[in-house]
Structure 1
């Protein structure tokens, strides 16, 4: 590969990331309704055709933002899990970190879990960053637990429900710790076999 080709690929990757970052920032500031290819083109100072050379419309941009978010989520959960020595403490730390992530990055969380995307969950096409995030939940359960993926799915599902219901005001944020304690206690006391 020539130096010119390498430089062009680096520039393209930089533009790609710049568009993703601009979409995230705009969504966090004004909501996903404000994210249009026209506004993004203005924000990143590229023409709309350049945007379309990277993404086939807003849905593709949302999917790219979601994948970016899964990388961040996986790293955030990993730090929480590794900081807790015991399995139950690790699960509690990962659950708390997940809820913090959802609260601190609402537009990103929407892209990852609420808005329609073509990101495949629980399939052979699941992107590695999403697999890594899910793996952090799985790793909270003992390796000899044959149902550890099921436990991880149920935990993640419950946390997602808590995050969405809390964000929409359908459950009071004040009860978050009690709900988290209940979830972790019930999951950790469930027999593994």
Structure 2
């Protein structure tokens, strides 16, 4: 292995380490606890090394969000991989989505609530975001009825996100979350 290859491998390792450490710190203590100084201390590299990978916290949160979209895509595809169809597939997808958000609150915040600068529904939208949308479209497009499939996915995704956000914030009681999810699936995906 050449010196250049070794340096590239070490750089890629540091890059992954920064993302993993930021995510772990956010899940443990919240995103306010994620600072470049604290990250540098945790990964045992100087702040300039951190800045050689990312321009600042916003880019780090964006990298965590991209990782999250990849994981969400995998979660959605697994939920419907066993062959449920129609309403059963939509219920499996919706349940997996809500479970993902509940298991990864800081990651979910990075993906949807924090300013990452990641463009949605745009020519510059990164591949992990497009792939998550496609995973939703693959299942939800089948139940869109006479609605435009992409528009239907946007509405369904918005409703799912709203349920997650309002439940997490305590504005909707969590005891009724399963019934709300069932109602959403029933109304938007048919019986």
Moved more, 86-95 or 101-110: 86-95
Unpaired segments of 5 or more residues in structure 2? none
The question of 1:179 aligning with 2:176 is answered no
Moved more, 157-166 or 141-150: 141-150
The corresponding residue for 1:164 is 165
CA distance in 1, matches of 2:45, 2:84: 48
Q: CA deviation at 1:8?
A: 1.6
CA distance in 1, matches of 2:134, 2:113: 21
The corresponding residue for 1:114 is 113
Q: CA deviation at 1:144?
A: 8.9
CA distance in 2, matches of 1:144, 1:64: 32
The corresponding residue for 2:33 is 34
- Kept in 1, the 8 Å contact 2:86–2:143? The answer is no
Unpaired segments of 5 or more residues in structure 1? none
The corresponding residue for 1:154 is 155
CA distance in 2, matches of 1:107, 1:179: 23
The corresponding residue for 1:8 is 7
Moved more, 92-101 or 133-142: 133-142
Aligned CA-pair RMSD:
1.7
Secondary structure of the corresponding residue to residue 71 of structure 2: helix
Moved more, 114-123 or 84-93: 84-93
The corresponding residue for 2:134 is 135
Question: Number of matched residues?
Answer: 189
Normalising by structure 1, what TM-score? 0.93
CA distance in 2, matches of 1:144, 1:173: 28
- Kept in 2, the 8 Å contact 1:83–1:90? The answer is no
CA distance in 2, matches of 1:164, 1:122: 21
- Kept in 1, the 8 Å contact 2:69–2:132? The answer is yes
Q: CA deviation at 1:24?
A: 0.3
Moved more, 139-148 or 157-166: 139-148
- Kept in 1, the 8 Å contact 2:87–2:190? The answer is no
The corresponding residue for 2:189 is 188
CA distance in 2, matches of 1:89, 1:80: 10
